[in-house]
Structure 1
Amino acid sequence: MSSQNNMENLPIDIHYNKLLDWLISRRHCSQQWQSTALTIREKINLAIQDMPPVEEITKLLQGTYINYFHCKKIADLLKSTDSGAKNIFGQYSSQKMKDWQEILKLYEKDGVYLAEAAQLLTRNVNYEIPALKKQIGKCQQIQTEGERKESEYISNAAKLKKEYNDTCKQMGIEGKKIKSELATLVRDMPSVFDKLAKKSKGLEGAVQYYSAFMDFIMNRSDLGASAVPMLRYVQQKGSTTTYEWQTGHKPSQVIESAINIDTADEVDKTADTGDIDWGDIGTGEEVDYAADIDFDISEVSVEGVGIETVDGGEEVGTGGNIDWGTGEVTKSDQSSSKEGVAQGENALSLLDNPKTRNLFVDDLSELECFLAQRLVELGGEGDVLSGSHSQSAPASIQVDVTKVTEMLEAVRAITTELTSVQMHHLMLIRNSPRYVDRLTDTLKQKLQLADKMVFYQKQSVAKRNQALEEQRDLEPKLDVIIQRTKELQKQMQKEISKKYKDRPVNIMGEINTI
């Protein structure tokens, strides 16, 4: 007797995935239950069309699939309304109650409600709940990715705008109307060259020091006078025309080549032009907006070592290390200009003409190298003027370190100004006005990419907010289906327990971890 009682108290453990097979194998429901379930489902769909406005009934009809236990609850709630009234024969007079009573009878016949509930449990645990969790996880991933992309787009936009501003600063322009500002700088180049020529007069002391030192070291009196000839000429006469340097007299007429830079209809590049349509990207697909964008814009670089092609197919360096050429120009070169008329290359000033400018820069480099070497010698023990040489050396070359340093700094200042990035670009524009178009396009591309980054950043924020909104909609649905699934699990355990003299029933598996 005791062992029989123990058997009755042993729990019945059923895995949720095998619950339906377990019920069929023990004849608690029929294998053909689905055909009856379809009929029941049609009757439920018709019955819910005409329901009284009872709050509890409304809640039951929302959220999840309506099963037998919901129907039973609805019938109980209807009993407390006018629909629950009975006639003198003890039958319900309301068609609503008759419909739901019929549904319950169909459910209970052959245990259809048990089979349907078992299938619903399996479907919720294996498919519905994981699908919702996966979708919520995807929404969270989109938000995380959106925050990362948003940060990248903001960073890239700031980087591109900084590059644009830095480039404009190096070129000496504000960057609002690039062509107009560059055209103004090009027109001001003659005055810039005149200022440099005047500054070169401040190097007379350095030139005399160099000449006197050469004469003393070589023991000659005429060698130093021939050193740095172009620098000496510019110091004496300024940046004259090439014609005057070649012929020795000023031209009666100077015919300069016009510099045509088309600035018509140029708009402010930095003005806010509103939102730009970068195409339809609101397709809902995951798009890496930065994947096709190359932020390394070096086609026309103020710091790179690129190659630019100017008019006529000539290639010139565009980097900071400027190649001033190796051509030699002498005063014996003959011009195709008419007598007294300076035109073409001969009409250019010495510092504007690439060939004569090379000679000027070469002289500056020669003087710079000499002064730099003298500083090294004066700071060490290898000075050629030390010992017996110092007694015979003239006073003009016995210069201290401080004076030589001042001379060297003055030479380097003029060299730096003449060979700066800004000057280099202006000379390229001076020789090829079409170069300004390519330079403008490159700078404009930086701003366009910056605008595109701002656009993508806004799209990323919109997409992230959309994912957040979707997550907020899905989470309550997930909570409801989990709650209803757990309720259905308990209801099923209770129903099965009734069939086995109230033995404990446990539905096992992942259903207990949802």
Structure 2
Amino acid sequence: MNESEIPIDIHTLKLQDWLISRRIVPKNVQQEIRDIHTKISNALQDMPSNEQLIKLLANTNINYYHVKEIIEILKQTEKDTKSVFGTYGSQRMKDWQEISRLYEKNAVYLAETAQIFVRNINYEIPGVRKQMAKLEQQTDESQKRAHDLNKPETQLLAEHAALLEQLGVKGDNLHAEFIEVLAGLPNLYTKSIDGIAKVQPGIDLYAEVSGHKQPLPILSHLVEFGNTTVYQYIHKEAPLAVEEPPIRLNLSEGIVQKDGDNVAAEIDFGTDDNGGGTSSTVSAEIIDYGDFGGVDLQETDGGNIDWGIESAPATAVEINFDIPVEEYGIVVEGTGMDGGTAKGDQAYTLLDSPNYRDRFLDEIYELESFLRLRLYELKQLESSSDIMFSLMDNIATHDAESIKKILNSVEKIIRQTSDEQTRHLFQLKHSPKYANLLATKLQQMTKAVEKLRSTRETLKRRAIELREQRQQLNPVLEELVAQTRVLQSHIEKDISKRYKNRMVNLMGGVN
């Protein structure tokens, strides 16, 4: 094999060291390159207006091969200054020819070309590709995050719709809708204790075991009379009229509370018999004990105190009982079923009164616990041979199956009286702040949904922008790769000429 047929393989990373080691370029070539770049900057200050030059000078990295192209263009623009000897009188041409000679001296152009080639291979091209990959990753992440926001949005919308459904409102005008839905609260109470008569056997069994005649008074009253007013439960008769306290809903941001510090100042203690403003509370300062002149009281012979009261003749006083009581301003309420007026807490029904509702729940949970315990004992008694296992084995009124039925009825009433809608409406009616809490919660859900939607739209726009930025890097990468391939070709040809046209391979170049 001839020497000319042996290829020269040069690794890209060692190209610059290879050129210096073969004495093709000097060691101090970097200083010469900096001096040439200074001259190029000065020469660029005075350039003719030419389309080709403008397009060529748009490239910020001007190298030796760009200088050769600039000289060729100047030969056309500065041809009027050319002498018969082939020289140019134009200073522009002289400057660029001088730059070209400096490049060719000591093969500085080859060192610079190798430097640009290595930098493109090691940094510029990988940097652009890394940036493109990062933009692609950010685009995918933005799209994924935008898609992931659908789940919390759907969940919030479902919770918002569920809360509105529980309250029985649409959410357009909460104050008016709350007032309207509260009007149906009595029907919910009636519906919740539907079939309450089925728990009467359980009440009887509990009374029999406990030894109390009426251990669950409120529950027994509801079984017998239904959800009556507290007035009827207390007085054992229905009221003539019911004046239920007005419903107060506070949907404002700040809840104004009444000042309870001056309650005593509002209490009317009444007046004296003479119409004066004297309080009925008697103090020692206004009592007239008489003037005893500082003399001690002495007992009489009979051992009795002489109070100074003259004895009146003991004459019989006749009382007339026939005068109607109305003449004395006394009003007597009706008797029997006539009743009176239910006001305040007594105007509420048993299930609507905060106090009596809690007592009702305590009683029905108490009955539930008793039935569960009795059912457990019956099951243990059936599986045990010990006759004395149960303390209530002498009570055989109900078997396990009948107690199960009663227990099912009790559990049904507990579920119905404690369901979400009833609890919400109960709190809404008796707590002015609760309406504001519900309205705030609904508003926060709506704002959260709006924020999620806004964030999703922002992420979608961001993904589009990132995709456009990624696409804008395509021509940059293509141009950079093309430039690097041209530089690689120039380097391989130049080195090949120096070594009798042997083939030169730059390993690790552009694929």
1:257 and 2:255 are equivalent in the alignment: no
* Inter-partner Cα distance in structure 2 for 1:354 and 1:377: 35
Which of residues 50, 53, 74 in structure 1 aligns to 2:51?
Answer: 53
Change (3 A) 1:83 1:115: same
Are the equivalent residues in 2 in contact too, given 1:255–1:347 (CA < 8 A)?
A: yes
Deviations 1:449-497 (A, max 9, x none): 2221111111111221111111111121111111111110110111122
Which of residues 503, 508, 511 in structure 1 aligns to 2:509?
Answer: 511
TM-superposed CA distance for 1:264, in Å, is 6.9
1:158 and 2:154 are equivalent in the alignment: yes
Q: Secondary structure at the match of 1:452?
A: helix
* Inter-partner Cα distance in structure 2 for 1:210 and 1:410: 10
Q: Which has the larger radius of gyration?
A: 2
Could you say which residue in structure 2 is the equivalent of 1:421? Answer: 420
1:354 and 2:354 are equivalent in the alignment: yes
TM-superposed CA distance for 1:29, in Å, is 3.2
Give the unaligned 5+ runs of structure 2: 260-338, 383-396
TM-superposed CA distance for 1:20, in Å, is 2.8
Summarize the alignment of residues 114-513 of structure 1 with structure 2, pairs less than 5 Å apart: 114-193=110-189, 195-196=190-191, 200=194, 203-204=196-197, 206=198, 229-251=217-239, 254-263=242-251, 340=340, 342-361=342-361, 414-508=413-507, 510-513=508-511
Could you say which residue in structure 2 is the equivalent of 1:16? Answer: 12
Q: Secondary structure at the match of 1:507?
A: strand
Could you say which residue in structure 1 is the equivalent of 2:335? Answer: none
TM-superposed CA distance for 1:118, in Å, is 1.5
TM-superposed CA distance for 1:150, in Å, is 0.8
Are the equivalent residues in 2 in contact too, given 1:121–1:485 (CA < 8 A)?
A: yes
Deviations 1:261-317 (A, max 9, x none): 13579xxxxxxxxxxxxxxxxxxxxxxxxxxxxxxxxxxxxxxxxxxxx999xxxxx
Q: Determine what percentage of the aligned residue pairs are the same residue.
A: 33
Change (3 A) 1:237 1:158: same
* Inter-partner Cα distance in structure 1 for 2:169 and 2:371: 34
Are the equivalent residues in 1 in contact too, given 2:200–2:220 (CA < 8 A)?
A: no
Could you say which residue in structure 1 is the equivalent of 2:25? Answer: 29
Are the equivalent residues in 2 in contact too, given 1:207–1:367 (CA < 8 A)?
A: no
* Inter-partner Cα distance in structure 2 for 1:368 and 1:415: 9
* Inter-partner Cα distance in structure 1 for 2:457 and 2:497: 60
Are the equivalent residues in 2 in contact too, given 1:196–1:414 (CA < 8 A)?
A: no
* Inter-partner Cα distance in structure 2 for 1:192 and 1:23: 96
* Inter-partner Cα distance in structure 2 for 1:15 and 1:405: 90
Could you say which residue in structure 2 is the equivalent of 1:330? Answer: none
* Inter-partner Cα distance in structure 2 for 1:97 and 1:151: 62
Which shows bigger deviation, 464-473 or 101-110? 101-110
Are the equivalent residues in 1 in contact too, given 2:142–2:459 (CA < 8 A)?
A: yes
Are the equivalent residues in 2 in contact too, given 1:350–1:356 (CA < 8 A)?
A: yes
Say which structure, 1 or 2, has more relative contact order (CA 8 Å, 6+ apart): 2
Are the equivalent residues in 2 in contact too, given 1:170–1:422 (CA < 8 A)?
A: yes
Could you say which residue in structure 2 is the equivalent of 1:286? Answer: none
Q: Secondary structure at the match of 2:10?
A: strand
* Inter-partner Cα distance in structure 1 for 2:258 and 2:431: 6
* Inter-partner Cα distance in structure 2 for 1:38 and 1:77: 20
TM-superposed CA distance for 1:75, in Å, is 4.1
Give the unaligned 5+ runs of structure 1: 266-309, 313-338, 383-396
* Inter-partner Cα distance in structure 1 for 2:469 and 2:203: 84
TM-score of the two chains, using structure 1 as the length reference: 0.66
Change (3 A) 1:45 1:135: farther
TM-score of the two chains, using structure 2 as the length reference: 0.66
Are the equivalent residues in 1 in contact too, given 2:199–2:410 (CA < 8 A)?
A: no
